């Protein structure tokens, strides 16, 4: 290996840069489309052959490039987007490095045609991956730019052999175009592959047009289960759509997050989303969302990765808390019967009827009321189940002690209220659904029966509601216990024998800086040496828990992220277990008033759509669907 220092040739330097920017055809598509969007294009056309390995063509109707600048467009570190350091500190464009076209032309055959006027006269510049000498010639072209890339990696066979199959490469390209199409609703996108049309997305700026595009790219089922969010605080604005927890995924393949129009992947964002879905998502599942964060460009650094997939926030704690608070509130405020009342709903969104959207539980965070309107029915039975009353700490304790006696065996299929017939010979359950009252019925309707000692059957204006009574009551008790616990504070318990922890000096210093964090959570620690901590007091609810490991984990979180939710999560897990064991069990016979009281509690309880483990608590069966089962009206 030579030891003398020497300058790299322009060709080799560009190929090294291409290794950072151009990984596969999808990378080329991303760079070219971002350049087109920065040029003000409102229509983008992409045409591929063989997944993009043989040919890529991108055409736009942007402002074009001057003849004198065409040769600079293929030069390294040449850009029209950055002129000074102040521009770099507040980047407002998608691309700015000035390396993309030079890097692409170093590993492929590139031809760029552009025009800045409407006369149809333009110029074409071409380059190949040898010495990258450019050739300029006149060409007919409408206003805008066309870039054609052929034979990707033709001069670097070592790179070419790492490309995947045509189908895999095309899927990567398709995903890239989806991400960009979701970032700019006002721009029309079209995609053709091997001469076959794949996407033809029209541009639009209205709420309905945006939802139509999201439904086209993410699927109608996502939009049917999506909550619309729009929040603004402290110079931050979050808007977009997040799917209800019941619409979860086995993979994190339906997660799109944008910062100032740029698709990014960020640990701060991922952590905030995970926390927001902490106790409403079934284990091993992933949430689905299309979210947009807007903030001052000077508050975010996008120049931390060559592909610009990662960003760095100047105040990551502010961003994290804003994202968590907004999503947490959105999910908590979803209660049965709360829908997003929008005046401009299109009759058809990508083939999905607007009526089907209205049949789902959807809401706008800005319009959602703070509490459900329905209240417990007068006389709702609480002697046996405790439904319908707001729980105090004493009441919760009574419930915890009393529910054990309620798990009586029941051998039946569908059971009705064991009430004596009233005037006219009608049983009590028939009186629970007043005639002609569907329009005034509460969101979860009126209970009519109990099925197999597990499910409550209820009738509302849309049809039939089926409720898992244990899962529903588990969420109600859990939320009541969390509220009671938060109101009463964390009760601490001194240790008879303090626990000594051997830690690193850095961990001990971290404890002294964040001592108030432990104190607020009910821990009392003392530094007994340079590398020793003494635990003298722990939260009473964590008595018997592995305190030493918990303290070490909290210190690790504080060192890595500046915060920790481990203690709070541990307490919530205990409350969740207590709520699970304290909730009404299967085969517990409920009266009609008890069932109705449980339904009313669900309507005013946060996150009542899922139990503590993320399982759904209720489902709606529409009357129109039941009519189809029995071919009524056909």
- Strand order across the 55-60 sheet: 135-140, 121-127, 109-115, 144-150, 55-60, 43-49, 188-193, 196-201
Out of 3.30.1540.20, 1.25.40.10, 3.30.1950.10, 3.20.20.30, select the CATH number for domain 377-634: 3.30.1540.20
- Strand order across the 236-243 sheet: 226-233, 236-243, 289-294, 255-259, 262-263
**Which tokens belong to 53?**
């390995």
Give yes or no for a contact between 120 and 140, defined as CB atoms under 8 angstroms apart.
Answer: yes
d(CA 202, CA 197): 14
> Is the entire prediction scored with pTM above 0.85?
no
What separation in angstroms does the CA of 625 have from each of 7, 458, 632?
A: 73, 16, 10
**Which tokens belong to 259?**
């910062």
d(CA 311, CA 268): 10
Count Cα neighbours of 28 within 13 Å in the Cβ-side half-sphere: 31
**Which tokens belong to 124?**
């074409």
DSSP for 97-110? SS-HHHHHHHSSEE
Out of 3.40.50.261, 3.30.420.40, 3.30.565.10, 1.10.10.10, select the CATH number for domain 10-201: 3.30.565.10
Give which of 303, 275, 273, 305 is closest to 289, Cα–Cα. 273
Instruction: Kindly indicate whether the domain formed by 207-358 is annotated with CATH number 3.30.230.10.
Output: yes
Give yes or no for a contact between 4 and 31, defined as CB atoms under 8 angstroms apart.
Answer: no
Coil vs helix vs strand at 1: coil
**Which tokens belong to 276?**
């927001």
Give yes or no for a contact between 97 and 119, defined as CB atoms under 8 angstroms apart.
Answer: no
Phi, then psi, of 595 in degrees rounded to 5 = -65, -45
Predicted confidence at residue 135, as pLDDT, reads 85
Kindly tell me the burial class for residue 231, based on how many C-beta atoms sit within 10 Å of its own C-beta (0-12, 13-18, 19 or more).
middle
Predicted confidence at residue 348, as pLDDT, reads 44
Instruction: Point out which residues pair with 464 in neighbouring strands.
Output: 459, 621
d(CA 332, CA 237): 19
Predicted confidence at residue 411, as pLDDT, reads 32
Cα torsion angle, 269, 230, 209, 45, sign? negative
Predicted confidence at residue 351, as pLDDT, reads 44
Rounded average pLDDT per 10-residue block, the chain, 634 residues:
74 68 91 93 96 96 91 81 71 74 88 90 85 83 96 88 93 96 97 96 95 96 93 95 91 94 90 89 90 93 72 89 93 73 40 37 35 34 40 45 35 40 45 56 92 93 93 90 75 86 91 83 87 89 76 81 68 72 80 93 91 89 92 84
Q: Where are the domains of the chain?
A: 10-201, 207-358, 377-634
Predicted confidence at residue 432, as pLDDT, reads 53
């Amino acid at each position: 290996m030579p030891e003398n220092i020497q300058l790299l040739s322009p060709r080799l330097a560009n190929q090294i840069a291409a290794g950072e920017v151009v990984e596969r055809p999808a990378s080329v598509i991303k760079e070219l489309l971002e350049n087109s969007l920065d040029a003000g294009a409102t229509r983008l056309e992409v045409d591929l052959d063989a997944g993009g390995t043989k040919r890529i063509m991108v055409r736009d109707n942007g402002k074009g490039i001057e003849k004198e600048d065409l040769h600079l467009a293929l030069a390294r570190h040449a850009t029209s987007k950055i002129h000074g350091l102040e521009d770099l500190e507040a980047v407002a464009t998608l691309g700015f490095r000035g390396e993309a076209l030079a890097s692409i032309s170093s590993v492929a055959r590139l031809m760029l045609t552009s025009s800045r006027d409407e006369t149809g006269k333009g110029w074409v510049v071409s380059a190949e991956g040898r010495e990258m000498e450019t050739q300029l010639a006149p060409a007919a072209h409408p206003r805008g730019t066309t870039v054609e890339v052929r034979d990707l990696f033709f001069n670097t066979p070592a790179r070419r052999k790492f490309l995947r199959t045509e189908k895999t490469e095309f899927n990567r390209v398709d995903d890239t175009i989806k991400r960009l199409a979701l970032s700019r609703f006002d721009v029309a996108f079209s995609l053709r592959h091997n001469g076959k049309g794949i996407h033809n997305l029209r541009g639009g700026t209205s709420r309905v047009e945006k939802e139509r595009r999201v439904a086209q790219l993410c699927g109608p089922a996502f939009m049917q289960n999506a909550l619309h969010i729009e929040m603004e605080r402290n110079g931050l604005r979050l808007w977009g759509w997040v799917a209800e927890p019941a619409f979860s995924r086995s993979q994190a393949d339906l997660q799109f997050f944008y910062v100032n129009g740029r698709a990014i992947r960020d640990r701060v964002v991922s952590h905030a989303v995970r926390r927001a879905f902490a106790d409403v998502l079934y284990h091993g599942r992933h949430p689905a969302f299309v979210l947009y964060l807007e903030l001052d460009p000077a508050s975010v650094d996008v120049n931390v990765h060559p592909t610009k997939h990662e960003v760095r926030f100047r105040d990551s704690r502010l961003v994290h808390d804003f994202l968590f608070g907004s999503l947490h509130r959105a999910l908590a405020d979803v209660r049965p019967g709360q829908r997003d009342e929008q005046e401009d709903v299109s009759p058809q969104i990508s083939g999905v009827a607007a009526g089907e959207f209205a049949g789902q539980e959807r809401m706008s965070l800005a319009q959602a009321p703070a509490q459900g309107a329905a209240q417990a029915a007068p006389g709702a039975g609480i002697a046996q189940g405790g439904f319908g009353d707001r729980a105090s700490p004493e009441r919760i304790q009574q419930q915890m002690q009393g529910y054990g006696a309620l798990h009586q065996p029941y051998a039946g299929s569908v059971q009705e209220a064991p009430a004596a017939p009233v005037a006219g010979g009608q049983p009590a359950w028939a009186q629970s659904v007043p005639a002609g009252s569907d329009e005034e019925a509460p969101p979860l309707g009126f209970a009519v029966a109990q099925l197999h000692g597990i499910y409550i059957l209820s009738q509302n204006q849309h049809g039939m509601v089926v409720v898992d009574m244990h899962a529903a009551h588990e969420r109600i008790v859990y939320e009541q216990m969390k509220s009671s616990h938060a109101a009463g504070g964390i009760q601490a318990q001194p240790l008879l024998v303090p626990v000594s922890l051997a830690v690193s000096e850095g961990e001990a210093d971290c404890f002294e800086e964040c001592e108030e964090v432990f104190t607020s959570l009910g821990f009392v620690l003392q530094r007994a040496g340079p590398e020793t901590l003494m635990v003298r007091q722990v939260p009473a609810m964590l008595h018997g828990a592995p305190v030493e490991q918990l303290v070490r984990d909290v210190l690790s979180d504080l060192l890595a992220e500046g915060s920790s939710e481990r203690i709070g999560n541990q307490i919530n897990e205990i409350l969740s277990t207590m709520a699970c064991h304290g909730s009404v069990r299967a085969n517990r016979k409920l009266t009609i008033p008890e069932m109705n009281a449980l339904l009313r509690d669900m309507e005013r309880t946060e996150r009542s759509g899922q139990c503590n483990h993320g399982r759904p608590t209720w489902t709606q069966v529409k009357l129109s669907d039941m009519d189809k089962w029995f071919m009524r009206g056909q």
